[in-house]
Structure 1
Amino acid sequence: MTLILNDIAWHRAVGQMIEALDRPNFWTQLVRLLNQYVTFDSWVVLLFSNGQHPEVFAECPGEDGGPDPLFQDYLRGLYLLDPFYIASREQQRTGLYRLTEVAPEHFELTEYYQRYFRLNVVADEIQFNCQLDGDRTLCLSLGSTTPFSGEQIALLSLIQPWVLALLRQRLPHEAQETVTPPATAGQGDWRTQLEASVQQLKGAQLTARELDVGRLMLSGCSSKEIARKLEISIETVKVHKKHMYSKLGIKSQSELFSIFLQAQKA
Structure 2
Amino acid sequence: MADTYQTINVQDSWQKNLALLIDHIRMPSFPDLLIEYLATLCQFDTSLTVTYKKSFKPIIIQPTDPSEQSSTLRSFIDNGYYLLDPLFNAIQNDVSSGVTRISEYAPDSFESSDFYVNCYQYFGIVDEIVLIIKLDQSVTCAISLGRKKELGSITRTELRALQEIFPVLSALFRQFWTAQSGEYVQYEQSDDSMKQALKSFGSGVLTQREREITHLLLKGNSSKAIADSLNISVGTVKVHRKNIHAKLNTSTQSEIFTLFLNHLKSLTD
Coordinate RMSD, CA, aligned = 2.9
Identify the residue that residue 214 of structure 1 maps to in structure 2.
214
TM score, norm. by length of structure 1:
0.82
Q: Does 1:165 align with 2:171?
A: yes
Distance 1:219 1:123, change over 3 A: same
Which secondary structure state, in structure 1, belongs to the residue aligned with residue 183 of structure 2?
coil
Q: Which runs of 5+ in 2 are unaligned?
A: 1-5
Identify the residue that residue 130 of structure 2 maps to in structure 1.
127
Choose 67-76 or 232-241, whichever is displaced more: 232-241
Distance 1:38 1:173, change over 3 A: same
Distance 1:176 1:258, change over 3 A: same
Identify the residue that residue 139 of structure 1 maps to in structure 2.
142
The AA in structure 1 aligned to 2:170 is L
Q: 1:17 aligns with which of 21, 27, 37?
A: 21
Distance 1:246 1:94, change over 3 A: same
Distance 1:123 1:246, change over 3 A: same
Q: Distance in 2 between matches of 1:49 and 1:15?
A: 30
TM score, norm. by length of structure 2:
0.82
Q: Distance in 1 between matches of 2:133 and 2:127?
A: 20
Q: Give the total of aligned pairs.
A: 256
Q: Distance in 1 between matches of 2:265 and 2:244?
A: 21
Q: CA shift at 1:249, angstroms? A: 1.0
Q: CA shift at 1:96, angstroms? A: 0.8
Q: Map 1:166-181 onto structure 2 (within 5 A).
A: 166-178=172-184, 181=187
Q: CA shift at 1:67, angstroms? A: 4.6
The AA in structure 2 aligned to 1:183 is Q
Q: Map 1:222-237 onto structure 2 (within 5 A).
A: 222-237=222-237
The AA in structure 1 aligned to 2:137 is G
Q: 1:116 aligns with which of 114, 119, 141?
A: 119
Deviations 1:214-245, CA, capped at 9 Å, x for gaps: 23222222222223333444344334323322
Q: Does 1:89 align with 2:95?
A: no
Equivalent residues of 1:56, 1:180 under 8 A apart: no
Which secondary structure state, in structure 1, belongs to the residue aligned with residue 57 of structure 2?
coil
Q: 1:71 aligns with which of 63, 70, 73?
A: 73
Structure with higher Rg: it is: 2
Choose 131-140 or 14-23, whichever is displaced more: 131-140
Which secondary structure state, in structure 1, belongs to the residue aligned with residue 111 of structure 2?
helix
Q: Does 1:44 align with 2:33?
A: no
